[in-house]
Amino acid sequence: AQKVTQAQTEISVVEKEDVTLDCVYETRDTTYYLFWYKQPPSGELVFLIRRNSFDEQNEISGRYSWNFQKSTSSFNFTITASQVVDSAVYFCALSGIVSGGYNKLIFGAGTRLAVHP
Amino acid sequence: DTGVSQNPRHKITKRGQNVTFRCDPISEHNRLYWYRQTLGQGPEFLTYFQNEAQLEKSRLLSDRFSAERPKGSFSTLEIQRTEQGDSAMYLCASSPLDRLTYEQYFGPGTRLTVT
Spatial neighbors of B5 by CB under 8 A, at least 6 apart, are B23, B24, B107, B108
pLDDT at B100: 64
Nearest to A5 by CA among A93, A78, A67, A87: A93
d(CA A5, CA A92): 8
Using the predicted structure, report yes or no on whether residue B112 has a pLDDT greater than 60: yes
**Residue A1 confidence (pLDDT):** 82
pLDDT given at position A99: 67
Contact at CB, B108 and A44, closer than 8 angstroms? yes
- Asked whether the beta carbons of B44 and B35 are under 8 A apart, the reply is yes
| CB nearest A100 (choices: B45, B55, B111) | B55
Nearest-CA neighbor of B52 among B25, B21, B89?
B25
Greater model confidence, B27 or B81:
B81
- Nearest-CA neighbor of A45 among B56, B32, B22, B103? B103
Instruction: Report the candidate in A27, A10, A30 with the shortest Cα–Cα distance to residue A109.
Output: A10
% of chain B exceeding 90 in pLDDT: 79
Residues of B in contact with A105 (CB under 8 A): 33, 35, 43, 45, 104
What's the rounded Cα separation, in Å, for the pair B18 and A84? 40
CA B7 to chain centre: 10
CA separation for the pair B45, B35 (Å, rounded): 4
pLDDT at A60: 85
Rounded to an integer, the average pLDDT of B29-46 is: 95
Element (H or E) spanning A72, and its range?
none
Query: Which residues of chain B make contact with A106, given a CB cutoff of 8 A?
Result: 45
Distance CA(B59)–CA(B49), nearest Å, equals 16
More confident residue, A83 or B102: A83
- The confidence score (pLDDT) of residue B66 equals 95
Strands B65-68 vs B44-50: parallel, antiparallel or unpaired: unpaired
Choice among A97-101, B27-31, B39-43 with the minimum mean pLDDT: A97-101
How large is the average pLDDT for residues A52-73?
A: 89
Residue A5 has pLDDT above 80, yes or no: yes
- Test A33 with B102 for CB contact under 8 angstroms: yes
Is 70 exceeded by the pLDDT of residue B101? no
Percent of chain A with pLDDT over 70: 98
Given a cut of 70, is residue A66 above it in pLDDT? Answer: yes
Query: B83: distance to nearest CA of chain A, Å?
Result: 23
- Which of A3, A104, A107 to substitute to test the interface with B, most B CBs within 10 Å? A104
Q: Residue A15 in contact with residue A115, Cβ under 8 Å? A: yes
- Mean of per-residue pLDDT scores for chain A: 92
Predicted pLDDT of residue B93? 96
Query: Which of A40-44, A63-67, A72-76 bottoms out in mean pLDDT, i.e. has the lowest?
Result: A40-44
Nearest-angstrom CA–CA distance, B48 and B86 = 19
Considering chain B, what is the average pLDDT of its residues? Answer: 93
Q: Is the pLDDT of residue B98 over 90?
A: no
Chain A hits for B105, CB-CB cut-off 8 Å, are: 47
Which pLDDT belongs to residue B99?
63
Closest partner residue to A47 among B40, B97, B103, by Cβ? B103
Which residues, numbered 12 to 41 in chain B, qualify as contacts with chain A under a Cβ-Cβ cut-off of 8 Å?
31, 33, 35, 40-41
pLDDT above 80 (res B106): yes
Q: Is the pLDDT of residue B1 over 60?
A: no
Find, in chain B, the residue whose alpha carbon is nearest to that of A41. B108
Cβ distance B91 to A45 less than 8 Å, yes or no, reads yes
